[in-house]
């Protein structure tokens, strides 16, 4: 966000005391500054509103249809995933979520949108992109016997060599960080949240 903005008459939360007070806020190029430092700002009337810092969603799958009973997501291609991801990320920003950490996204479409937002191609939130998550055969994330037909939804790795190759691939694609399904979870059958799924050797190779 560039330029100068004066948020006038809004309520501001003091996170130290928990109290709110009504006051004006100045913003220049996305940074809060004293209102007196502004020269010719755009004035936004915030009377009756509360001015809040941007929030982070730290576990997001913006392009997926994880709980869709129709199972449509298993037939969608990369384009459909990308459109869904963009729509959900922009909606998140509209709701005040200015940062999103993705936790595995098919075909790495989150990496592309992270770059597009960062470079100003289109407006959107800050995205810390994982790309495709790493899991073992039969590990967390599997929906066997169902499988995604037109996208790569997980990087299935067994052994140190495959894990190393997957990490290098994600780095090459521009992932901000790497998600690995180290234990079971709540999505896949026949697993527990405290059940380890990678060997010590695989984990060392990954790190």
How many domains are contained in the chain? 2
Q: Do residue 169 and residue 126 come from a single domain?
A: yes
| CA R_g for the chain | 21
- What pTM did the predictor assign? 0.83
**pLDDT at residue 79, as a whole number:** 96
**pLDDT at residue 190, as a whole number:** 79
Domain containing residue 33: 4-51
Q: Do residue 72 and residue 153 come from a single domain?
A: yes
Q: Do residue 75 and residue 38 come from a single domain?
A: no
**106, 207, 115, 150: CA torsion to nearest 10:** -10
Spatial neighbors of 84 by CB under 8 A, at least 6 apart, are 62, 63, 64, 65
Note down pLDDT in tens along the chain; length 207 residues: 568 999 999 999 888 898 999 999 999 998 999 999 999 999 999 999 998 888 999 999 999 887 676 777 889 999 999 999 999 999 999 999 999 999 999 999 999 999 999 999 999 999 999 999 999 998 998 877 778 889 999 999 999 999 999 999 999 999 999 999 999 888 777 788 989 999 999 999 999
């Amino acid at each position: 966000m560039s330029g100068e903005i004066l948020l006038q008459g809004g309520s501001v939360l003091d996170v130290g005391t928990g109290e709110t007070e009504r006051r004006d806020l100045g913003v220049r190029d996305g940074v809060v500054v004293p209102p007196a430092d502004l020269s010719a700002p755009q004035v936004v009337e915030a009377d009756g509103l509360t001015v809040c810092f941007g929030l982070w969603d730290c576990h997001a799958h913006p392009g997926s249809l994880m709980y869709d009973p129709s199972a449509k997501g298993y037939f969608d291609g990369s384009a459909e995933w990308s459109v869904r991801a963009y729509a959900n990320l922009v909606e998140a920003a509209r709701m005040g979520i200015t940062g999103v950490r993705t936790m595995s996204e098919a075909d790495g479409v989150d990496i592309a949108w992270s770059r597009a937002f960062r470079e100003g191609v289109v407006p959107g939130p800050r995205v810390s992109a994982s790309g495709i998550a790493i899991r073992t055969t039969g590990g967390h994330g599997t929906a066997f016997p169902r499988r995604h037909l037109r996208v790569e939804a997980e990087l299935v790795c067994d052994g140190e060599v495959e894990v190393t190759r997957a990490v290098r691939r994600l780095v090459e694609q521009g992932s901000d960080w790497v998600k690995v399904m180290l234990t079971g979870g709540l999505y896949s059958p026949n697993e527990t949240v405290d059940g380890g799924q990678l060997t010590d050797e695989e984990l060392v190779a990954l790190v």
